Each structure stands twice: as C-alpha cells, then as structure tokens.
Structure 1
Amino acid sequence: MKNRAYKNYIFDFYGTLVDILTDEKDPVLWDKLGQLYQAYGAAYEGETLKKAYAKHVDQARKELIDLKGVAYPEIDLAHIFNQLYVDARPQSRNSNQPEDWGQLIAMVFRILSRKHVTAYPHTKEVLAFLKEQGCRIYLLSNAQAAFTNAEIDLMA
C-alpha cells in the first residue's frame, strides 16, 4: 500500500465505527439519577429530575441558538447537571457536592442510558492496518465530550 491514495482518514465515531443504543427516556435512568442527587442533598425524584433536566436543556438550547445562530447547538450537559444540583440543594446545608459533579453525573447519565455499545465487525483490525501503513486517523463526533472520550477509551 505504498502508493495509497490517501494519507488521512476521517471517521465518525458513532454509527460508523461503533454501534450504540441509548434510551434517555428510561424511567429507571431518572430514578437512579434522582437517588444519586438525593445522596448529595438535592431533593429530586426521578420524574421531577427528568422534567427539570428537559427545561434546562431547552433553555440552554434557545440561548445558544440566539447567541451562536446555529440550528443545532451543542449543549454542555455537565453544566446542566451542575445547575440542577444548585437548584435543588437545601441552602442551609453545607454542600458535599464533588468538585467535578457535572462531569460525574454526565458520565453516570450516559452509562445508565446506554443499552449497548460495541465496535462494528473488523473495525479494530482496519484501524490497526491503516495505522501500520502510516496513515493518520481522525475521529469526529457530535456527541458530548463528557462521555465520548470515555467511550473511545472503552472501545480501544
């Protein structure tokens, strides 16, 4: 393959290299997340948390559309999960919220919503072959960095 036509290969991570199925409407997901928030002093039941999350996401989306003028803005879910905690924690208590709460909850959210994630057949072999040939490989994704990086590592 010395006279290869391409030196650089760009792949979309999800749907091209990796098959993933998530269910962000699963009531069990929201119940478990609500329990995690409760463990840190924020009063959420599953359905209440789901509604508050949807409201924050919708508001953030509208603000980003106005600010950036794009139809499909990328919302920072870690920030949303932080804001949900701030909104629901009792003001009189000392916060025992971990410093990286938003990142942690974004990751837990993804793990609980993920039904499966697997590399498509021969994906690893093809990528290894391209790398052996001296090709440069680039991964693109429009998903949240808060959990995409971990899923890339998971597939490595």
Structure 2
Amino acid sequence: MSRLDPPVGGVLFDCYGTLIDILTDERDIATYRYLSRWLVYQGVGVAPENLRDLYTSRVREALDLTGETYPEVRVEDVFSGICTEYALWNIDTVRLGIEAARAFRAASIRRLGIIEKSKKLLDLLSTKKIGVVSNGQRVFSECEMRALGLYNQSGFVIFSSDLGYQKPDARIYAAALGKMELPARDVLFIGDNT
C-alpha cells in the first residue's frame, strides 16, 4: 500500500483456500462407507450408496427450499433427518446429527493444513480488527480452525451455515462490517475468491 491509499482499519479473511489448505471428496463412496460403518455403532443402519444418495438429494432439496440466491444449509440438520429415518434404536438425533456431520467431514478429508503465508499475515496484522467470513459449516469448520490455531486469531468468524446464505451475498459482508464497526472503505478483504 502507498501513502495515497486509504487507511485500513480492519481485514476480513476468507477461510478455505486462504487460511486453510483443504481437499475433500464428498462424492467418493469410500467416504460414505466409513460413515455408514460409524453410524451402525451410533444406532443408525443405512447402506453407503443409499447414504450418499440421501445426503446429496436432501442437501439439494434443503438448498432449494431456502429461496436464497446464494443458499446455505446446516449439514448437521440433514444428517439428523437421515439418522431419525434410519435409527435402529432410540437415539439423540440432534447430537448424532452434529457428530455425523463431523465424522463425514473427517472421512471426506484428503488434505488439511494451514497456509503458512496467510498465518504470517495474520500475525503481521494483529493490531488491526480481524475477522473471517467463510462459506463453511460451523459444525466442523470451527473445529478445523481451532485445531490449526486460527480461530482465536480473529475477533470473530462468520460461517455461512449460521446465516442460511453464503458469499457473494452482500449480507454476509454487511454482517462482518457490523461486527467490526467499520465502513467497507476501511476494510480489506483477503481471499482466493469472492
């Protein structure tokens, strides 16, 4: 930045592809085989192929029902519904929806790590107001950020799953600016996309 640039009072970071390097495969049947086996021990019996079809169709249906231009759903709610339908005995479907979402994420991850240059940038900008705006699921994204030591480095984290819509919807940025108590002109956004 030059002396002619306006001062930056705050910085918003994207999460995935900017702070966290991640590769997942939610289509691989191996992901669903692992989850299907894990679910049996939780009291849910559903075949891997059926689980994959149910998950993808129910996420699609839930997205369609939102009426949002850039819709987002809470995957733990999707898993809770599947667990309710395929329960083998009496289960706590709310708790199991959360745990199934996390087990699903663990099964789908092929690579997970921190982007070191971004971590250094976070350290350099520690005197600024810092926030994270992520098209992510709080149910497991917060765990990933905490495990990598990123969650507490920002003043706040906004996950699209909490709002029901995702970037590039302007409301997600407005929510972040509200938390920062800064106008958009004073905030720099750092991300790999919108």
TM-score, normalised relative to structure 2: 0.69
SS at match of 1:5: coil
Cα distance in 2 for partners of 1:39, 1:16 equals 36
Structure 1 residue ranges (4+ consecutive) displaced by more than 4 angstroms after TM superposition: none
2:9 maps to amino acid: K
1:117 and 2:139 equivalent? no
1:106 and 2:108 equivalent? no
List aligned pairs for 1:1-156, cutoff 5 A: 5-65=7-67, 70-90=68-88, 93=89, 95-97=90-92, 100-131=95-126, 134-156=127-149
**What stretches of structure 1 of length at least 5 have no aligned partner?**
none
Residues 40 and 97 of structure 1 are in contact (CA less than 8 Å); yes or no, is this contact kept in structure 2? no
Cα distance in 1 for partners of 2:93, 2:86 equals 15
The Cα shift of 1:102 comes to 1.1
TM-score, normalised relative to structure 1: 0.84
1:113 maps to amino acid: S
Fraction of identical pairs, as percent: 26
Cα distance in 2 for partners of 1:98, 1:87 equals 10
Q: Over aligned residues, Cα RMSD in angstroms?
A: 1.9
